[in-house]
Structure 1
């Protein structure tokens, strides 16, 4: 176990180091010099981020994935539709209320009480997890489902105040974070495992559909609150000048996240206890593994969230203000792209999805190829978001064409790539986006005197959208390559093309 933990921490170092170096370079130059206390705050947060990701990654492998898979198998085996509907709503609602990313977004959008936002979004995920599960049971194509759902999204959006639009789209991204993703992905795998003649894309798609639910429920809330005056949030950067204040900041933050993560994991753990008591699925050895994995997950999330919220959030806002104050503040666009490229690597849920994709496709879609496509997509999204903040261009000019392009691409790529792409969109927009990039955009917007509600909010939505295009572009390239490749394994072909290919191995060439 120790060796495995060392391996996970080593992987997290390679994930967090690039964005840490970028911030350090900015702080050591005239671009964004930081007070010594804030720099120590950031570095300590980086260390906690690394250790937290290591523990979290190990914990999800041991607990969340097996737990979700077995729950999915049991739901799939049930013959009573009322039980399936009730369990899906309960699971979706519970894991979303627990999601720390959602709580971060709710605190920053001060126009509506936090609890109202959390319950509205949780109801959206619960309802749409039902839709996602029923789609698998009834064999409805994911592509058709997504076209209908996004048509509804954009139809409703025309009746909502501009101030509500960006945060509504952001809510779809933040709900799929480090607690929700591992459980829901495993749930989908478990459900698909018991389905006869299930398509390969049935292993994915639950996260994609669950990401749409919060957008619709938040847009509906925006219509109900149409007459409500929406005021921009006031983000205050704490004054950190020495190491003592750094210690006080983390000491004040730790109890908060110890409680939040306990609150977040407790519904899942309680559900698992009831599930285990009824089904007796896990034997003693498996049960010990799940319990130890849950403890690792808890430790990892506490460290990770404390690091990003205390160490990264104020630094992100501070750097945004400093860069926006430069005469050549256009540099925010390439710098934003650079940060976006590396910051997605530090998202815990990204590694969960990439690993599952590689395993389920028998290596046909390597984790490295997934990560590169995600990084490129997020780089473009952050660059576009910086352009929006500097110019005040409406998010509509990017979101509508972006989703139309993503849906059009779904007709030209293998179905499994469409499912993976729409799942990855929600996964890419995790806690690093909510706690670093969003405050960064808010800092820029405040400095250039823009509208924070319409210009800064929406960066999470942009991060969630661009991977839909880049991952499907990867699928398009794979689909073309497989027709001429001679080194593709026969058991991999089904995962990277929808066509039936007459694949034969040239024995003489192989010899």
Structure 2
């Protein structure tokens, strides 16, 4: 049964994170009552993740692929680009991760409006989804676009308010969450399939380009912002009302947020059904509806577990590790949590499965997962090192992105596209909830300024996979060339008296 397979995948993803926190509770950072809520939240997380993955597989992804194919087959460029903007805007407004990040930013610095942040992020994503679709149509080099737009990003970052630097780069990562990634990636696959050309390369890169839009839009907002400087404030958690009462109290608010997330998506599906997918059979339509229902239930369960268990425990764990232990142990804890937390990102599983499918099985999903784990582990470790030392985010972003963009010149194009997509999907719900809460707690425990010290961890999580996946691509390319080079002399000059033979 598919649901049992998804439950197994989700359990394998989440249980290691729970194990690390449980071990820390009994050794270095006793969490008290928070441990029980964390473990209960983990159970909800596993169930929610499994149901969400099932819903995305049968409902969201197929509609995205068919919509992309239908839009491209119309041969109407304004329609394609306009639809790309609308899809990117409404899915981002509906993305729960964006609201989680915006709420945490507003809690730390009330001078930064939650609604303004969400609106600016959505506009940025909409514009760059249209840019990404135009790239596929006109076969524009992804490398040139990345170099040009990241040059613009760093030019704007030099003039923006310091309080917005980390928030802007974090927004680029949080945007690509469990709702955005499956639909936008499927849309790109559909467009690339109809457009022709190098479909393997064109199928990826949309998420990487879409992540640029929020960074630019928030940097521009930072140039105009005249609010506070982000003085550290405590982020209130939900009130205690018994173990399960604690979670049940979160259900109405979470269900409303997820309903807001899915309502625009359901509206888009209805529009596609009326104007683009008229030949969709009743059976397929019922599968889409069931997929949306599963997605709704899965996300509600997932975010109730995250808000009720993972965020409070992450903040408490960060404070305890920062106050009671040396900095090296805080960094080591960050490395362990980063390596395991990326496995619990719903969008990571969607991306790795699509990479294996599009590559015809030549790129195994497990290889991508291991590479992402290494990259995110380094990212969270660097974030803890930055919090402990009070270092500027510039010291990490400038050399990191310089290396990532430099690798685009020697990495196979498809791996470059996968790498920039991976940077977005690795920084999803677990990063914007548990890891960010852990970093905020550590910053508060050390007496730092969260708006400048803690925000930026998602940016580092989004940056390191760019380097790790491209390094994997370079190794993959060399491995392919080596057998071809060794086989060439035998093929051209067989031994005397022998013919060529293929088994």
Equivalent residues in 2 for 1:115-130 (5 A)?
115-130=115-130
Equivalent residues in 2 for 1:46-61 (5 A)?
46-61=42-57
CA RMSD of aligned residues (A): 2.1
Q: Tell me how far 1:310 sits from its aligned partner.
A: 1.2
Q: Aligned pair in 2 of structure 1 residues 82, 331: CA closer, same or farther (>3 Å)? A: same
Q: Aligned pair in 2 of structure 1 residues 502, 76: CA closer, same or farther (>3 Å)? A: farther
In 2: Cα distance, 1:409 partner to 1:239 partner: 45
Equivalent residues in 2 for 1:69-148 (5 A)?
69-110=65-106, 111-148=111-148
Is 1:255 aligned to residue 252 of structure 2?
Answer: yes
Q: Aligned pair in 2 of structure 1 residues 337, 291: CA closer, same or farther (>3 Å)? A: same
In 1: Cα distance, 2:201 partner to 2:441 partner: 40
Q: TM-score, normalised by structure 2?
A: 0.94
In 2: Cα distance, 1:406 partner to 1:76 partner: 31
Q: Tell me how far 1:239 sits from its aligned partner.
A: 8.2
Provide the secondary structure at the position in 1 that maps to 2:379: helix
Alpha carbons 2:48, 2:298 under 8 Å: kept: yes
Is 1:422 aligned to residue 420 of structure 2?
Answer: yes
Is 1:449 aligned to residue 447 of structure 2?
Answer: yes
> What residue ranges of structure 2 are gaps of 5+ in the alignment?
none
Alpha carbons 2:84, 2:129 under 8 Å: kept: yes
Counterpart among 443, 448, 465 of residue 467 in structure 1? 465
Question: Which residue of the partner structure matches residue 330 of structure 2?
Answer: 332
Q: Aligned pair in 2 of structure 1 residues 198, 314: CA closer, same or farther (>3 Å)? A: same
In 1: Cα distance, 2:382 partner to 2:151 partner: 23
Q: Tell me how far 1:196 sits from its aligned partner.
A: 2.8
Provide the secondary structure at the position in 2 that maps to 1:143: helix
Is 1:271 aligned to residue 261 of structure 2?
Answer: no
In 2: Cα distance, 1:502 partner to 1:155 partner: 51
Question: Which residue of the partner structure matches residue 494 of structure 1?
Answer: none
Alpha carbons 1:109, 1:233 under 8 Å: kept: no
Alpha carbons 1:57, 1:348 under 8 Å: kept: yes
Alpha carbons 1:333, 1:387 under 8 Å: kept: yes
Q: Aligned pair in 2 of structure 1 residues 504, 223: CA closer, same or farther (>3 Å)? A: farther
In 1: Cα distance, 2:393 partner to 2:338 partner: 18
Question: Which residue of the partner structure matches residue 29 of structure 2?
Answer: 32
Q: Tell me how far 1:288 sits from its aligned partner.
A: 1.3
Q: Aligned pair in 2 of structure 1 residues 327, 58: CA closer, same or farther (>3 Å)? A: closer
In 2: Cα distance, 1:53 partner to 1:502 partner: 51
Q: Tell me how far 1:476 sits from its aligned partner.
A: 0.6
Question: Which residue of the partner structure matches residue 155 of structure 2?
Answer: 155
Q: Tell me how far 1:218 sits from its aligned partner.
A: 0.3
In 2: Cα distance, 1:56 partner to 1:285 partner: 20
Q: Aligned pair in 2 of structure 1 residues 175, 238: CA closer, same or farther (>3 Å)? A: closer
In 1: Cα distance, 2:363 partner to 2:264 partner: 34
Q: Aligned pair in 2 of structure 1 residues 508, 334: CA closer, same or farther (>3 Å)? A: farther
Question: Which residue of the partner structure matches residue 7 of structure 2?
Answer: 9
In 1: Cα distance, 2:489 partner to 2:170 partner: 45
Question: Which residue of the partner structure matches residue 492 of structure 1?
Answer: none
Deviations 1:240-299 (A, max 9, x none): 77xx53223212211111111111011111111121122314111111111111111111
Counterpart among 383, 406, 431 of residue 429 in structure 2? 431
Is 1:200 aligned to residue 197 of structure 2?
Answer: no
Q: Tell me how far 1:330 sits from its aligned partner.
A: 2.2
Q: Tell me how far 1:79 sits from its aligned partner.
A: 2.5
Alpha carbons 1:136, 1:192 under 8 Å: kept: yes
In 2: Cα distance, 1:433 partner to 1:278 partner: 37
Is 1:299 aligned to residue 292 of structure 2?
Answer: no
Deviations 1:7-39 (A, max 9, x none): 11011111101000000001112x11011x321
Q: Aligned pair in 2 of structure 1 residues 370, 217: CA closer, same or farther (>3 Å)? A: same
Q: TM-score, normalised by structure 1?
A: 0.93
Q: How many equivalent residue pairs?
A: 493
Provide the secondary structure at the position in 2 that maps to 1:182: helix
> What residue ranges of structure 1 are gaps of 5+ in the alignment?
489-500
Provide the secondary structure at the position in 1 that maps to 2:192: helix
Q: Tell me how far 1:486 sits from its aligned partner.
A: 7.1
Is 1:390 aligned to residue 388 of structure 2?
Answer: yes
Alpha carbons 2:352, 2:369 under 8 Å: kept: yes
Q: Aligned pair in 2 of structure 1 residues 109, 238: CA closer, same or farther (>3 Å)? A: closer
Deviations 1:359-391 (A, max 9, x none): 000111110000001000000000000000000
Question: Which residue of the partner structure matches residue 16 of structure 2?
Answer: 18
In 2: Cα distance, 1:293 partner to 1:340 partner: 30
